[in-house]
Structure 1
Amino acid sequence: MSNPTALTIRRYVLTGSVAAITATGVWYGAGLKTRQERKQVIAAVVEAPLAEQLEQMALYRESLVRQRNGLQTKIDQLTGKAEPPKHRGR
């Protein structure tokens, strides 16, 4: 097996090619789906009444604030600014 045959090399090349084509197709398809969903969400927000738009924006803001707080907690823990969580019952 020290000398790879032409069939072995061909098999590796074909396997790599099929894997690359599959990965590219999945990536491209996911991008298309994401763009389509984004367009639908934007259209729904634009067509919604003003009160509904404000409510949706408030909910989105709340989720972003929660995400920011979670990330800030992780940053504080990594930099040593926050105390580690205490164990209960010990």
Structure 2
Amino acid sequence: MAPPPRPPPSPRAQSRIPRSRRAKAPIIPTPTPLSALPTSSRNNSSSKFPHPPSAPRPGAYKLPTLKRVIYTGAFAAVAVVGAIYGAGLKAQKEYQEEKQQVVEASYEDRIEYLEQRRAMLVTQKMPLERRLRELRERMRMEEMREVKEGSSSGGEGNVAAGGEK
């Protein structure tokens, strides 16, 4: 019986083998460039390579282009969804950490935190109250203008519709 074949040597062991005894890589034939062919074989439609390698065949790149667009869109969608999901996870983690700090804090720290939070909310409340006051003023002016227009026109329907509330 024949001995089993030896496994190929590792790259390190191969560096110790002399070049003359190393296994040679197989030679893969490459197509002859079209420019190297004689002109008679260029015009021959039965040649092995009818189109130059750099020129695409008609309709040859429609499917790969469509695939490329689909893959690009899919990867972009995955990246966007991942970024949004990751941001949500980070916000949730920060909220949990802040909540844990408040629970573990002493009463003095909790009071201080709540006072800071109240001050922040009061500063947010001021512009909202101002806008609400302005809106109510405009609504009051609009009602007065409608009542004035209704009474000056002399029509009873306008006065009844706009004057009573």
Q: What amino acid is aligned across from residue 125 of structure 2 in structure 1?
A: R
Across the aligned residues of Structure 1 and Structure 2, the Cα RMSD in angstroms comes to 2.7
Q: Larger C-alpha radius of gyration, 1 or 2? A: 2
Gaps of 5+ in 1: 83-90
1:3-40 Cα offsets, whole Å, 9 max, x none, are 99222211211111011100111111111111111111
Gaps of 5+ in 2: 1-58, 139-165
TM-score scaled to structure 2, two decimals? 0.41
Q: What amino acid is aligned across from residue 96 of structure 2 in structure 1?
A: K
Match of 1:46 in 2: 103
Q: What amino acid is aligned across from residue 84 of structure 2 in structure 1?
A: W
How many corresponding residue pairs? 79
Q: What amino acid is aligned across from residue 10 of structure 1 in structure 2?
A: K
| Deviation, structure 1 residue 43 | 0.9
The structure in which a higher percent of residues are helix is: 1
Percent identity between the two aligned chains: 30
CA distance change for structure 1 residues 6 and 56 in 2, over 3 Å: closer, same or farther? same
Match of 1:65 in 2: 122
Q: Structure 1 residue 25 and structure 2 residue 74: aligned? A: no
TM-score scaled to structure 1, two decimals? 0.70
